[in-house]
A and B are shown apart, each in its own frame.
Chain A
Amino acid sequence: MSGPHRHLHLHGDNPAARRAPEAKLAGLFLFVLLVALTPTRWMIPIGAEAVIVGLTVAAASLPWRVVLRRLVTITPFIAFAFLLPFVVSGPRMAVGPLHLSQTGLWNAFGIVSKAIIGASATIVVASTTSVPDVVTGLRKLHLPAVIVTIMSFMWRYLDLIAADSGRMRQAMSARGYQPRWLWQARPLANATGALFVRSYERGERIHQAMLARGFDGVMPEPSRTRPVTGTDWAISLLPAVGAAVALIIGAWYGS
């Protein structure tokens, strides 16, 4: 089971990993926002944004193979994009033996380029930031404290509950359960129900333990955080500044 170990963080020391998480997350959000706002036919800014993402991948010394493997999550949308030149109406152009819709080709280009640039940028941040740091960063960026706390609880128990689920399925296959059809799914659903009961009761026990330790409704601030510096902000916002400059240049040239 690949399960919870799918998460992206790789340990390592590089210019991206050293930045404070709140600066990185803000930089990511601004950069991706600018990418999403870039008009599809503005080739210069889109090209520039792709180069910027490529440079951040290099700066974070992430292997290209890793980034490509992580991009699997967007493949359904890439498949959707590949259909577009065939199904979109409008003037056609001949590409080899095929007659493809020009609008469809542009649509496909827009969806694929934005999905790849956006996901790659997120992969860079997720690969260079540990999950507790992501949670700390979101807290510093003033996401509601309750949401952040729920996220940290989820992360704390995810490995455990996923492993529980994995063990249940292992036990089931040890007893010869190998479902192939939907009407054989009842034992799977029973196991999922049992997993919910275990999770729920664990939640109750955690709460009791928290009360025993004096929990009064407010989580204590984590002590181990380092202050964010000007360098953090300068480096983390660099990709977003680059995208903004590219957009302004694109607007100047009219495409």
Chain B
Amino acid sequence: MLAMHAPDGFLAPGVAAVTAVISIAVTWLSLRMVADNLADRYIPLAGVTAAFVFAAQMVNVPVGAGTSGHLLGGALAALLLGPWLGSLVVTVVVLVQALVFADGGVTALGYNVLNMAIVPAFSAWAIFGAAKAVFPKTRGGVVGAGAIAAGLSVVLAAGAFSVEWLFGATAGVPFDRLFGAMVSVHAAIGVVEGLITGLVVAAVLNARPDIVEAARGVPDLSTSSRAVGMKPFLVGAFLAAVVLAIGVSQFASSSPDGLETVAAQQGIDEAARQHALANGVFADYATDGVGNETMSLAVAGFTGVMTTLVVAGGMLVSARALRQQGMS
């Protein structure tokens, strides 16, 4: 679902407005950070790399048995260009896709930009920073940490979409079911995203290690060091994805569908409640038919807080790094 651009009216107007305010604020901040650090050099660079992201998204990646996927590119842009410029570049891509290709709703830009540009770029940067601290300070370490960051950033973006659904659901699909489905599917998509992102970063490191923002300050970028081979990475990533998917679906099914026995009674006040809320800007469908509401809200809260912390962490870490660079 995330890989595609949500159309107009897919989330309630209140969520569209709130996410638009967040996206505009972060984009404004990104513009300031980028302008401070790259002067006017970034303007053509951002334009050309935005075209690159667009072109990279059109490359079909074989997955197996005749199916194929494609790169989302938010994490890749952050790793290669740094999170501020990376997020800005993907934001422009999403904007052009909406206005020129009618791909994604014009009033859905707030959440489309947030989920496809801002959350992937900054969460990938934060996770990359954490993974890099554990991995060896070599080329292989950068590639491995980048792959893990890209894979997890996709899952986090799926989580962000689920939390937005909690506040702005336009259909009676409860949060826990949507969350379970979104995270499971995106755990698999994340394996592909992580693998391709890692390999692309490795390829760029071979040719121009000096331009890869993620490799800044890494002493040993020689090609001889390799943290993980491709097959071990794939096997490990698939295992992790399966564990994640099973864990999440356990939670989703822990709200028993047996609740539908109550649905008959609930249907009455549900209809009444919906009438009152239908005009509201924040729809409340997402708690309909949830078996364990406390549990569901706890998971939603945890996901929301985690995503916010990781994204904010990515911003803080890179902002501090940029300031130190500026001083030295």
Q: Chain A interface (Cβ within 8 Å of chain B)?
A: 1, 3-4, 6-9, 25, 28-29, 32-33, 35-37, 39-41, 70, 73-74, 76-77, 80-81, 84, 87-91, 101, 103-104, 107-108, 110-111, 114-115, 117-119, 122-123, 125-126, 131, 134, 138, 144, 146-147, 149-158, 160-162, 164-165, 169, 179-186, 188-197, 199-204, 206-207, 210, 215-217, 219
Question: Which chain A residues border B4 with CB–CB below 8 Å?
Answer: 73, 76-77
Give the residues in chain A near B173, CB-CB below 8 Å.
84, 87-88
Give B239-263 as 1s and 0s: 1 = Cβ < 8 Å from A's Cβ atoms. Answer: 0000000000000000000011001
Determine whether the beta carbon of A119 is less than 8 Å from that of B45: no
Q: B31, B51, B203 — which one has the most chain A CB atoms within 10 A of its CB?
A: B51
A126 CA to B31 CA in the complex, in Å? 27
Decide: A90 and B44 in contact? CB cutoff 8 A.
no
Instruction: Say yes or no: B102 contacts A110, CB within 8 Å.
Output: no
Q: Among A125, A146, A165, point to the contact of B43 (Cβ < 8 A).
A: A146
B103 touches A196 (CB 8 A): no
In the complex, which residues of chain A have a beta carbon less than 8 angstroms from the beta carbon of B25? Answer: none
Question: Are B54 and A154 interface neighbours, CB within 8 A?
Answer: yes
Contact: B92 with A150, CB < 8 Å?
A: yes
B66 interface residue per 8 A CB criterion: yes
Please name the 9 residue pairs, one residue from A and one from B, whose CB atoms are nearest each other, closest first.
A153-B47, A193-B203, A118-B8, A114-B9, A189-B199, A107-B171, A115-B7, A203-B45, A88-B172
Partner of A90, one of B6, B35, B234, B266: B266
Bound-complex Cα distance A117 to B56 (A): 30
- B322 interface residue, CB < 8 Å from A? no
CB–CB B9/A36 < 8 A: yes
Q: List B1-51 residues whose CB lies under 8 Å from chain A.
A: 1, 4-10, 13, 16, 27-28, 31, 35, 39-41, 43-51
Which of B93-101, B116-124, B306-314 contacts the other chain? Answer: B93-101
Question: Given that A188-B61, A193-B204, A196-B200 are contacting pairs, would A151 and B96 also be in contact in the complex, using a CB cutoff of 8 Å?
Answer: yes
- Report if B220 contacts A (CB, 8 A): no
> Which chain A residue shows the least CB distance to B62?
A179
- State the Cβ distance, A24 to closest chain B Cβ, in Å: 11
* Cβ-neighbour of B200 out of A111, A160, A192, A215 (below 8 A): A192
Contact between chains at A33 and B107 (CB < 8 Å): yes
Indicate if B161 sits at the interface (CB-CB under 8 A).
no
Q: Name 11 extra pairs, CB < 8 A, besides A84-B172, A115-B105, A180-B64.
A: A73-B104, A87-B177, A90-B288, A91-B267, A114-B8, A114-B10, A122-B99, A123-B102, A154-B46, A189-B199, A195-B52
Evaluate contact between A203 and B47: CB separation under 8 angstroms: yes
Bound state CA distance, A101 and B274, in angstroms?
A: 15
- Contact assessment for B102 and A122 in the assembled complex, using a CB-CB cutoff below 8 Å: yes
- Residues from chain B with a CB closer than 8 A to the CB of A32 are 8, 105-107
Q: Is the C-beta of B270 less than 8 angstroms from some C-beta in chain A?
A: yes
Chain A interface main SS type? helix
Kindly name the residue among B39, B80, B92 whose own CB sees the greatest number of chain A CB atoms within 10 A.
Answer: B92
A143 to chain B, nearest CB (A): 9
Query: DSSP majority for the B interface?
Result: helix
Indicate the size class of the contact surface on chain B: 35 or more
Asked whether B56 lies within 8 Å of A39 as measured between CB atoms, the reply is no
Least distance between A31 CB and chain B CB atoms (Å): 9
- Assess A165 versus B58: contact at CB under 8 Å? Given A192-B196, A196-B204, A203-B44: yes
CB contact under 8 A between A147 and B92, given known A36-B107, A73-B103, A185-B195: yes
Closest to B38 in A: A207
A35:B47 contact, CB within 8 angstroms: no
Query: Counting chain B CB atoms within 10 Å of each CB, which of A7, A111, A115, A185 scores highest?
Result: A185
Q: How far, in whole Å, are A1 and B35 apart by their CA atoms in the complex? A: 36
> Contact: B107 with A200, CB < 8 Å?
no
* Contact (Cβ within 8 A) A154 B92: yes
B5 cross-chain contacts in A, Cβ below 8 A: 73
Shortest distance between the CB of B303 and any CB in chain A (Å):
20
A25 to B109, CA, bound (A): 14
Q: Which of B27, B35, B55 has the most CB of A within 10 A?
A: B55
The chain B residue sitting closest to A39, CB to CB, is B278
- A113 CA to B43 CA, complexed, in Å: 39
- When A91-B264, A150-B43, A185-B61 are in contact, do A107 and B170 touch as well, CB less than 8 Å? yes
**Min distance, Cβ A125 to any Cβ of chain B, angstroms:** 8
User: Which residues of the other chain, A, contact B99 by a CB distance below 8 angstroms?
Assistant: 25, 122, 125-126, 134, 138
A165-B52 Cα distance, complex, nearest whole Å = 9
> Are B47's CB and A149's CB within 8 A?
yes
The CA-CA distance from A9 to B55 in the complex, in Å, is: 19
Q: Once the chains are docked, how many angstroms separate the CA of A192 from the CA of B1?
A: 24
A152 CA / B203 CA spacing, docked (Å): 28
Q: How far is the CB of B99 from chain A (nearest CB, A)?
A: 6
Instruction: Give chain A residues whose Cβ lies under 8 Å from the Cβ of B196.
Output: 185, 188-189, 192
Among B28, B65, B80, B207, residue most surrounded by chain A Cβ atoms (within 10 Å): B207
Question: By the criterion CB–CB under 8 Å, are A215 and B48 in contact?
Answer: no
**Which of B49, B98, B203, B289 is within 8 Å of A194, CB to CB?**
B203
Assess whether A150 is in contact with B62, with CB atoms less than 8 Å apart.
no
**Given A89-B288, A151-B96, A183-B231, are A119 and B102 also a contact pair (CB < 8 Å)?**
yes
